[in-house]
Structure 1
C-alpha cells in the first residue's frame, strides 16, 4: 500500500536569503518558491539586518563571504536581536574547523558550495521544525494565546516567540520591563499556552501590599493565627495549585519574605501562618520587575539565591518608544474599547492627532497611552478625535500613569524628605512625628536611600535654593 504524506509543517515559512551573488539568489529563490516557501533576498549583511528589523522571518540562509562583513558576524548580530531565529551558512571556502566553530557558536547548519539542492531543503526543513514558531500570514496558526497583546512590531514578535518556546517548559521566568509595558499581559499569555492553562493563574503585586500582610496573602493563615484572623485564608500559592503564580514587582519584596519564598520554592511546600504542617504545592513561578535586580543584589536588597531561582529564563519587554510602529494600532484598539465603554460612536483620530500620538514621549508606556486615549474619548464631541483633545491629554500629568505601588513609593519618599527637612536630619524627632519607632524609621530611610546627615544644618534646603 502506498504511503501518503501530509503537507510539510514548514510550508509557507518566510525565508531570508543573503548573498552577493545575484544569480545564485535568483536560482535559490526559484527552488525554494517551488517548495512552498516565501522568500526575500538581501545582498549585504546590513541589508539583511534592515529587513529583519521590519519583517518577520522563520529562517536566514546566508553566505559566509559578504561584502560588508562575514556570515558569522551577521549571525552574532541576529542572535543578539532575534535569539530564536535559526541561521544556515553557505560558503565556497568551507572546512571542517569552520563548520565546528560555526555550529559551536549556535549556527544551525553549515553547507559548502557547490551543495545539493535536496540537502539544503532537508537542512531548512530540519531547522524550521526544531527552531522557533513558523509565521504564516497574520499568525492565524498561533491561536488566541496572545490575543490581549496588540502588536505587529518585530521586537515584540521576538519576545513572543521566546515566550512561546519557554511556555512549553516549566522553567521559572523573570519578565523585565519598565512600568506600563505589559508584563502581566505577557505572563497571562504564557500561562494560556502552557500545559497549566486549565489551572488557576494567580497574580499579586509584591509592592502594593503592606509587608505584614504579604506573607498571609501569599502563603495563607489559619484561623486565630494573629489578631484579626477571624477566618482561615488559603493563600495565593495553594489557590494556584497546578497553575501559575505571577509575582509582580518582585524587586519590592522585603528581604525577610524573600527567605520564606526561597524555602517554598526549594521544598515545593507552603506552611500557612500559624499552621503546624506544610502543604505540598505544584506551581509555576513567573515574576516581573521594573527594577535593576543586579543592582539590588549588589546593594544587598535582593537575595542572590532567590534571584537565580526566579531568573531561569529572562524575557525583556521593549518600551513603547522602542515599538513606535505599534502606537497607531494600540491607540485605535483603546479607542474602540473605550468608545464602547462611554457608548460613543468614534471612528478614529484626525491625521494630525495620530501624528501627535506617534511622535510623543511615552515615559508611562502603554498604560500612559491608554490613559491619554481615554481622556480624549471622554471629552470627544465628534466621531473623529481632534488634535486639540490629544494635545490636552498629553499636556496633563496624570496620576493614572503610575501604578499604586509607584504612587505609594513616591509619596513615601517625599514624606520622609519633608520630615528630615523639618527636623534638620534628626532621626529621633522625625520618627516621633511619623509615629514610628527609630528602627522602623531607619528601614524606611534605607529603602529610599536617604541619608539623614545630608539634611543637617539646612544643607539640603540651601542646595535647593541655589539650584
Structure 2
C-alpha cells in the first residue's frame, strides 16, 4: 500500500474550559502535541454554547471559575448529553465535590498541579471508554437519511448508535411525523443485521382481523380467502429487524400472542401447529404514552417491559428549531427537482415564518408545507405570504379531535340557524334536539340567534 492510499486517522476532539487563559494555553499545547484536536472556552457559559453547536468527544473543565462553576457545567452537560464524558480539574479542597460528582456520572478528576503524563493517561482512558462506533461518528452512512444539526437530536443518534451494537429491543417514542421509522432504519443500518431484511408494519393501519396473519403468517385454508401458505412479516425478517410502528394501537388479544413470540423466540402461523424459530430484532414505536395506556387497561404491562429494554425519545420539531432551515432547504432541493421548478430559496421573512411556526405535525408537516409552496410558487423565491398560507392550510389538518368537534358544532349551529332565519324552535327540531339542549349549545359557542338573521 503506497502513501496515496493511506488516510489520516480522524482527530479526537476535546473541549477544555477554564477562565485562566494561561492554563487554557498550557492544556492546549499538551493535548495538541498528543495529536488531539482542541477547542477552548473561557467560561462554562461559553462551553454550553459550544456544545449546543458542535459536539466534542470529551470535555475537560476546571472546577472553580467565575460565574457558573465546573460542577454546574458538568450537570448541564450530563443532563442534555449524558454520553459525553467530562473530566474535572480540581484543587485538594474541592476533591469531595468531585467525588460526589463522579457518583452522578462525572468520568474522572485530576488534582492540580498535575503533569502531562497523568493528564494524557486520564484522557486516553476516557477515549477507551467511548465505544468504538462513536470515536469517529462521521464514518458510514447508517444515519444518512436523518437531516439534523440539533444537539438534542444528535444525542438521540449517539444513543441509537450504541444500541445498534446489540440486539436489545428498542422502543422509540415521539409525536406523529418526527421520523420514528427513519430512526429505526438507522439502527438497523448500523447493526450486524444490516444485510438482512428490515420489515416495517404499521399496527394501526392494518385491520385487526388481518393483523395476526400479517405478522405471524398463515397456512392454506386457515380462514376464508387463505388460498396459499403465507410466511408473515416475522418470518420474512429472519436474521434482520422487525419494526412495529404504532405498537400502542395493537389490539390486546394480539398483544398476548406477540408476548409469547418474544418470550419463546418462535412463531406459529395461523392454522398451523408447527412452530418456526425466529432470529429477529424488535424495534417498536408509538406516539402514545404507553404507561397511561397500561393504567387504562389498553396495553399489557408485561409486553411493555419486553419491548422497552431501551427507550429512545425523538424530540418534536418545535424543540429542535435549529433543524428547520436545514430541513427546509433539503426538502426544497428535493422537491424543486421533482416538480421541475427553478426556485432559489426562501425569502428571509418566509424562513422566519417557518422557524416560528408551531409544527404540531412535526417534520412531515414541514415537508408538506414546503411541497405546497414549491407547487404554488411562481417566482424564484418562496415568499412569506405563500408560506403563511400553506402553514395555515396544513394547521387545519392537525387540530385536536376536541377542537375539530367544536368547530363542526359551531359551523353546524350557524348553518341550521341560517336555514331557519334565527328561529331556535325550528332549528332545535331540525337538529333533533330539545330547545333547552339547543340553547346550551348556543351558549357554549357564544352564538346569538338574533344576529344570525343579519348574516348574508
TM bucket (normalised to shorter chain) is: 0.7 to 0.9
Q: CA deviation at 1:88?
A: 1.0
Per the alignment, do residues 378 and 63 of structure 1 end up closer, same or farther by CA in structure 2, a change over 3 Å counting?
same
Match of residue 169 from structure 1: 166
Per the alignment, do residues 227 and 386 of structure 1 end up closer, same or farther by CA in structure 2, a change over 3 Å counting?
same
Superposed, 1:66-465 pairs within 5 Å as 66-93=65-92, 100-131=99-130, 141-397=138-394, 464-465=441-442
Match of residue 46 from structure 2: 47
Per the alignment, do residues 144 and 7 of structure 1 end up closer, same or farther by CA in structure 2, a change over 3 Å counting?
closer
* DSSP-derived class of the 1:107 partner: coil
Give the TM-score of the pair, scaled to structure 2: 0.83
Q: CA deviation at 1:368?
A: 0.4
Find the aligned partners of 2:227 and 2:389 in 1 and give their Cα distance: 49
Find the aligned partners of 1:459 and 1:254 in 2 and give their Cα distance: 40
Q: Do the aligned partners of 1:172 and 1:309 also contact (CA within 8 Å) in 2? A: yes
* DSSP-derived class of the 2:269 partner: coil
Q: CA deviation at 1:135?
A: 7.0
Of 66-75 and 386-395, deviating more is 66-75
Larger Rg: 2
Q: CA deviation at 1:103?
A: 3.4
Residue deviations 1:261-287 (CA, integer Å, cap 9, x gap): 111000000111111121100000111
Find the aligned partners of 1:250 and 1:101 in 2 and give their Cα distance: 40
Q: Do the aligned partners of 2:174 and 2:313 also contact (CA within 8 Å) in 1? A: yes
Per the alignment, do residues 76 and 464 of structure 1 end up closer, same or farther by CA in structure 2, a change over 3 Å counting?
farther
Find the aligned partners of 1:463 and 1:363 in 2 and give their Cα distance: 31
Q: CA deviation at 1:360?
A: 1.6
Find the aligned partners of 2:364 and 2:370 in 1 and give their Cα distance: 10
Find the aligned partners of 1:304 and 1:290 in 2 and give their Cα distance: 17
Find the aligned partners of 1:264 and 1:61 in 2 and give their Cα distance: 47
Q: Do the aligned partners of 2:170 and 2:310 also contact (CA within 8 Å) in 1? A: yes
Find the aligned partners of 1:249 and 1:331 in 2 and give their Cα distance: 26
Of 193-202 and 456-465, deviating more is 456-465
Match of residue 444 from structure 1: none
Match of residue 57 from structure 1: 56
* DSSP-derived class of the 2:92 partner: coil
Q: Do the aligned partners of 2:90 and 2:98 also contact (CA within 8 Å) in 1? A: no
Per the alignment, do residues 322 and 458 of structure 1 end up closer, same or farther by CA in structure 2, a change over 3 Å counting?
farther
* DSSP-derived class of the 2:176 partner: coil
Find the aligned partners of 1:8 and 1:460 in 2 and give their Cα distance: 78
Q: Do the aligned partners of 1:14 and 1:135 also contact (CA within 8 Å) in 2? A: no
Residue deviations 1:307-341 (CA, integer Å, cap 9, x gap): 11111111111111111111111111111111121
Find the aligned partners of 2:183 and 2:396 in 1 and give their Cα distance: 24
Q: CA deviation at 1:463?
A: 5.4
Q: Do the aligned partners of 2:350 and 2:384 also contact (CA within 8 Å) in 1? A: yes
Q: CA deviation at 1:399?
A: 7.7
Residue deviations 1:427-455 (CA, integer Å, cap 9, x gap): xxxxxxxxxxxxxxxxxxxxxxxxxxxxx
* DSSP-derived class of the 2:59 partner: strand
Q: CA deviation at 1:129?
A: 3.1
Structure 2 residues not aligned, in runs of 5+: 1-5, 410-432, 445-456
Q: CA deviation at 1:159?
A: 1.0
Q: Do the aligned partners of 1:94 and 1:112 also contact (CA within 8 Å) in 2? A: no
Per the alignment, do residues 460 and 121 of structure 1 end up closer, same or farther by CA in structure 2, a change over 3 Å counting?
farther
Find the aligned partners of 1:463 and 1:220 in 2 and give their Cα distance: 53
Per the alignment, do residues 161 and 227 of structure 1 end up closer, same or farther by CA in structure 2, a change over 3 Å counting?
same
Find the aligned partners of 1:212 and 1:229 in 2 and give their Cα distance: 13
Q: Do the aligned partners of 1:170 and 1:284 also contact (CA within 8 Å) in 2? A: yes
Aligned length: 412
Q: Do the aligned partners of 1:175 and 1:183 also contact (CA within 8 Å) in 2? A: yes
* DSSP-derived class of the 1:232 partner: coil
Find the aligned partners of 1:216 and 1:335 in 2 and give their Cα distance: 40
Per the alignment, do residues 464 and 181 of structure 1 end up closer, same or farther by CA in structure 2, a change over 3 Å counting?
farther
Give the TM-score of the pair, scaled to structure 1: 0.81
* DSSP-derived class of the 2:61 partner: strand
Of 177-186 and 24-33, deviating more is 24-33
Find the aligned partners of 1:317 and 1:458 in 2 and give their Cα distance: 49
Structure 1 residues not aligned, in runs of 5+: 1-5, 419-455
Per the alignment, do residues 67 and 167 of structure 1 end up closer, same or farther by CA in structure 2, a change over 3 Å counting?
same
Of 262-271 and 76-85, deviating more is 76-85
RMSD across aligned positions (CA): 2.8
1:17 counterpart = 2:39? no
* DSSP-derived class of the 2:189 partner: helix
